[in-house]
Amino acid sequence: MKMSDLVAQTILEMLDDHNGNAEIQRNELATTLGCVPSQINYVITSRFTPEQGYMVESRRGGGGYIRITRVHADNETLVMHIVNSIGDKIDKVTAEVMIKNLYRQQLLDRKLANVMMVALSDRALATAPQNIRDSLRASIFKNMLIATIS
């Protein structure tokens, strides 16, 4: 498992364990996971955005922390925020994290989450030229998400 995936998984588990709220000491988490603090920042800024259903508050300094809160919105609004946040391209790992998050939030059942994971996998897109796979993946993902609320 890539370090960024481990960081994201750890934060998601913290959110699940604390009713959608997690207060993170960046340096402590980095030490625990064996990574550098900038990797924690990268994961938070790329995977825990308002468009993905999170509010992030940061306080710097010796007693600083990063507080992440899962925002509770109606399903249609949340899915549309996610669709709008995807952009023109999305890599496989980011798509997988988003699908797992949707499953954890019970916006997707296990079967649909698995279908999405397979449909967006590198194996499913193997016949597409490498330089357009992430664009194709984004288009497919957005359309699958829209279909869940139609």
Confidence of residue 126 (pLDDT cuts 50, 70, 90): very high
Confidence of residue 72 (pLDDT cuts 50, 70, 90): confident
Average pLDDT over all residues of the chain: 89
- Dump pLDDT digits (tens) for 24-64: 998 899 999 999 988 998 899 888 886 677 888 887 766 67
Write down the pLDDT at residue 147: 93
Q: How far is CA 129 from CA 72, 116, 138, 143, in A?
A: 38, 20, 15, 20
Rounded Cα distance between 115 and 96, Å, is 11
Q: How far is CA 66 from CA 23, 54, 58, 103, 114, in A?
A: 6, 12, 4, 24, 31
Q: Does pLDDT of 7 surpass 90?
A: yes
> Once rounded to an integer, what is the mean pLDDT over residues 95-109?
86
Write down the pLDDT at residue 135: 97
Are 35 and 3 spatial neighbours (Cβ–Cβ below 8 Å)? yes
Q: Does pLDDT of 137 surpass 80?
A: yes
- Let me know if 88 is exposed, middle or buried by CB neighbors in 10 A (0-12, 13-18, 19+): exposed
> Once rounded to an integer, what is the mean pLDDT over residues 107-130?
95
Q: What are the tokens at 9?
A: 């998984």
Q: Does pLDDT of 105 surpass 90?
A: no
Helix (H, G, I), strand (E, B) or coil at 121: coil
Q: What are the tokens at 97?
A: 């994290």
13 CA to centre of own chain: 13
Write down the pLDDT at residue 62: 63
Higher pLDDT pick, 25 / 78: 25
Confidence of residue 101 (pLDDT cuts 50, 70, 90): confident
